[in-house]
Amino acid sequence: MSAVAAELGEDVIAARDGILAFADQEVVPRHRANRELFEDPRALYRPDGRFSDALAGLIDEVRTASARAGFYQMCVPEALGGGGLGHLAYYVAWEALFHHCGPQNWLMLYALAHWAFGPSRLLEQTTERARAEIMPGLMDGSRSMCFGLSEPDAGSDASMITTKAVKDGDGWRISGRKIWTSNAPVADYCVLFAVTDAQRAAVKQGGITAFIVPTNVPGFTVQRIIRLFGHIGGDEAELAIDDLYVEPWQILGELGKGFAAALYGVSLGRIYNSARAVGYGRWAIERALDYAKIRRAFGNAIADYQGVSFPLAESATELHAAHLMGLNVAQLLDAGQPAIKELSMTKAYSVQIGFRAVDRAIQTHGAMGLTNELGLTEAWHALRIVNIADGTNEILNRTIAQRLLKGDTDL
């Protein structure tokens, strides 16, 4: 029996089932075999906060094994050498991975190319030369990338970036600072956003360009690893860009129109994070239901108390709605619609209700819900973050309101 009436195509079902089988064969056993490593932050991270060699090695193993099996790049356009599956498959596969693996088998994050770390539709806008140089490594999982848009003084209003690309001969010299750049500590390439026309940028009429930059060139420095939630290491970094030389073949999209590329990348991030919230929420509610049936208090299983079961029922209802929204918006995008309002609604709603579902699952477990063993707090942390990354809920509401006020009231 399925709760979802919409029929998924055979290709999407095969992609989803295939990647779940891959996770069972290649991800879950690695977590089991490396339990001591995963439970010891000092073994996971170096003193400077970067991934340890042991962790980086496991990530590489998962990514390259998935690429060999054809899952990693299955949603990359065929023109770039990928499997050509669309946004629906991307949403369905990520939702299924998060739901199935939960937060503890997190190497699954590397089983499917993440829009900002690996090959994606965004790279359709690269030049022939850039494709020849970067795509082989990205496609076989041996190389990864990062997305450098946010700066210390430009977050929600990313058009305020001040990283500058100054013309030098045929190319440009880029200088500036980036912050929160995920995967930057290990990435081989960065999609780096810089102002190429200050006058146009000042009036928000273009003037920002995206460049593909190798991270091992002079002028690209990972200055600091940013730690979150008390962790001793992390994946986000602050970057210093100093006089970094780029050539025209490194432009992604069009000169002065990098902001469109940025928005498309962030859209992919919104699909990914909507799937993440629904998947983790479903995983957490299932753990809570199992526990409520066996935990006893005042002579009964706690599931017998409506104070316990009704919040779970509410979360199940919300997750069902968010799941349907996710499937719907992915289909709109596959049909070529921009779906700006619908994607904003889906991400804002999914991360709120996913977070609430995990919080309720923690409450259902009492003190047990706070333990490292259950992993609920890991999901809670992850979903707290995505209320900010790829557009805060306030900014998503701003976008929805703007669309409504312009007359886009179709619901």
Ligand X SMILES: Cc1cc2nc3c(=O)[nH]c(=O)nc-3n(C[C@H](O)[C@H](O)[C@H](O)COP(=O)(O)OP(=O)(O)OC[C@H]3O[C@@H](n4cnc5c(N)ncnc54)[C@H](O)[C@@H]3O)c2cc1C
Buried b (16+ CB within 10 A) or exposed e, 160-195: ebebbbeeeeebbbbbbbbbbbbbbbbbbbbbbbbb
Nearest in space to 110 (alpha carbons), one of 36, 31, 163, 168: 31
Q: Which backbone phi and psi does 183 adopt, to 5 degrees? A: 70, 0
CB-wise, 182 or 274, nearer to ligand X? 182
Asked if 240 is part of the footprint of ligand X (rule: CB under 6 A), the reply reads: no
3-state secondary structure of 211: strand
Which residue stretch of 95-103, 312-320, 324-332, 394-402 sits at the interface with ligand X (rule: CB under 6 A)?
A: 394-402
Do 327 and 335 meet the contact criterion of CB atoms below 8 Å apart?
A: no
Do 154 and 297 meet the contact criterion of CB atoms below 8 Å apart?
A: no
Q: Which residue has the closest beta carbon to ligand X?
A: 155
DSSP 279-337: HHHHHHHHHHHHHHHH-EETTEEGGGSHHHHHHHHHHHHHHHHHHHHHHHHHHHHHTT-
Closest contact distance (angstroms) between CB of 140 and ligand X is 23
CB-wise, 85 or 186, nearer to ligand X? 186
Place of tokens 């690996």: 118
Closest contact distance (angstroms) between CB of 332 and ligand X is 23
DSSP 76-96: S-GGGTS----HHHHHHHHHH
Among 70, 155, 171, 214, binds ligand X (CB under 6 A): 155
CB-wise, 317 or 402, nearer to ligand X? 402
**Rounded alpha-carbon distances, angstroms, from residue 176 to 23, 216, 242, 243:** 39, 17, 7, 9
CB-wise, 8 or 385, nearer to ligand X? 385
Asked if 149 is part of the footprint of ligand X (rule: CB under 6 A), the reply reads: yes
Among 38, 51, 91, 180, binds ligand X (CB under 6 A): 180
CB-wise, 96 or 400, nearer to ligand X? 400
User: Which amino acid makes up residue 326?
Assistant: G
Asked if 163 is part of the footprint of ligand X (rule: CB under 6 A), the reply reads: no
Q: CA-to-CA distance for 335 and 254, rounded, in angstroms?
A: 24
Among 150, 209, 273, 350, binds ligand X (CB under 6 A): 150
Among 394, 401, 402, 404, binds ligand X (CB under 6 A): 394
| Interface positions, 89-148, toward ligand X (CB under 6 A) | 116, 146-148
CB-wise, 150 or 250, nearer to ligand X? 150
Query: CA 270, 360, 287, 182 torsion: positive or negative?
Result: positive
Q: CA-to-CA distance for 279 and 86, rounded, in angstroms?
A: 19
Asked if 156 is part of the footprint of ligand X (rule: CB under 6 A), the reply reads: yes
Closest contact distance (angstroms) between CB of 63 and ligand X is 17
CB-wise, 328 or 392, nearer to ligand X? 392
Closest contact distance (angstroms) between CB of 269 and ligand X is 8
Q: Copy the structure tokens of residue 98.
A: 């998060």
Among 28, 200, 392, 403, binds ligand X (CB under 6 A): 392
Closest contact distance (angstroms) between CB of 20 and ligand X is 26
Among 126, 144, 181, 250, binds ligand X (CB under 6 A): 181
Tell how far CA 238 is from the center of its chain: 18
Q: Count residues binding ligand X (CB under 6 A).
A: 19
Asked if 273 is part of the footprint of ligand X (rule: CB under 6 A), the reply reads: no
**Rounded alpha-carbon distances, angstroms, from residue 274 to 17, 111, 222, 277, 328:** 20, 18, 29, 5, 12
Place of tokens 């929160």: 180
Which residue stretch of 86-94, 100-108, 361-369, 385-393 sits at the interface with ligand X (rule: CB under 6 A)?
A: 385-393
CB-wise, 316 or 382, nearer to ligand X? 382
Closest contact distance (angstroms) between CB of 48 and ligand X is 18
CB-wise, 219 or 234, nearer to ligand X? 234
CB-wise, 58 or 146, nearer to ligand X? 146
Which residue stretch of 136-144, 179-187, 200-208, 347-355 sits at the interface with ligand X (rule: CB under 6 A)?
A: 179-187
C-alpha Rg value of the chain to the nearest Å: 22
Among 182, 267, 273, 350, binds ligand X (CB under 6 A): 182
Residues near ligand X, by CB under 6 A: 116, 146-150, 155-156, 180-182, 236, 385, 388-389, 392, 394-395, 398
